[in-house]
């Protein structure tokens, strides 16, 4: 067993730096959307209507099924919810 340390869980489980960055962005967006649903007290049906998706899609989002969502879909849902998405690009450490 290795005692190797990682900066994030994505560093530990993804194969390439590109996959790591993609997963970090997707997880941040998913958490923000879930938080928005909770904060506003919306039902999954209401969220689906607002986001322009189906209720089962919102269920997948709330349950954290990250492999079912691409960045484009998550950005589109965030915009539909009235959320502003910002991105920063920094030099790798």
The CATH number of the domain holding residue 19 is 1.10.260.40
Q: How many residues does the chain have?
A: 93
Domain count, the chain: 1
Residue 18: the pLDDT is: 82
Residue 38: the pLDDT is: 97
Compute the radius of gyration of the chain from its Cα atoms: 15
Q: What residues make up the domain containing 57?
A: 9-80
For the chain (length 93 residues), average pLDDT per consecutive 10?
70 73 93 97 97 98 96 97 92 79
Spatial distance between the Cα atoms of 75 and 85, rounded to a whole number of angstroms: 7
Residue 16: the pLDDT is: 81
Residue 6: the pLDDT is: 65
Spatial distance between the Cα atoms of 6 and 4, rounded to a whole number of angstroms: 7
Place of tokens 């919810």: 81
Inside any domain, residue 64: yes
Residue 10: the pLDDT is: 66
Inside any domain, residue 88: no
Residue 17: the pLDDT is: 79
Inside any domain, residue 87: no
């Amino acid at each position: 067993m290795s005692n190797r340390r990682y900066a994030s869980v994505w560093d530990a489980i993804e194969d390439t730096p590109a996959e790591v960055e993609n997963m970090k962005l997707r997880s941040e967006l998913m958490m923000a959307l879930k938080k928005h649903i909770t904060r506003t007290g919306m039902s999954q049906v209401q969220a689906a209507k607002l986001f322009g998706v189906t209720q089962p899609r919102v269920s997948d989002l709330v349950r954290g099924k990250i492999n079912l969502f691409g960045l484009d879909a998550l950005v589109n849902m965030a915009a539909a919810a009235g959320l502003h998405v910002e991105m920063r690009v920094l030099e790798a450490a």
